[in-house]
Amino acid sequence: QKEVEQDPGPLSVPEGAIVSLNCTYSNSAFQYFMWYRQYSRKGPELLMYTYSSGNKEDGRFTAQVDKSSKYISLFIRDSQPSDSATYLCAMSEYQGAQKLVFGQGTRLTINP
């Protein structure tokens, strides 16, 4: 079993839709949770960073962490074609961006 599981998609939705992306994990020691966006042939860029359980909102993006279920989510409201990318969840036991364990990534396409 992989430490972090993420549905690779692809996921295709119409512009304006709410997108839900999810990851599950097996290591209960993970405390730091991140979502990255990766455009084709580019390195990942950090979207959201959350510590422990709870919600965090930043503009159209909301990250949720449920440590009891070992489940994290990223919601994108009012999705735009420019949101089309691969979204990777990542998590770590350690503060300070050490030893990140990534999910497989979900390829998302927003259709105009």
Residues that bind another protein (CB under 8 A): 4, 6, 8, 36, 41-46, 49, 88, 95-105
Measured between alpha carbons, how far is 15 from 103 in angstroms, rounded to an integer?
25
CB closer to another protein, 17 vs 101: 101
Per-residue DSSP letter, 69? T
CB of 96 to another protein, least distance (A): 5
Question: Residue 76 region, left (φ>0) first, then alpha (ψ -120 to 50), else beta?
Answer: beta
CB closer to another protein, 19 vs 88: 88
CB closer to another protein, 13 vs 101: 101
CB of 97 to another protein, least distance (A): 4
CB of 61 to another protein, least distance (A): 16
CB of 45 to another protein, least distance (A): 7
| Contact in structure between 70 and 26 (CB atoms under 8 Å) | yes
CB closer to another protein, 18 vs 46: 46
* 74: CB partners within 8 A, 6+ apart: 19, 20, 21, 22, 35, 47, 48, 61, 62, 63, 64, 87, 89
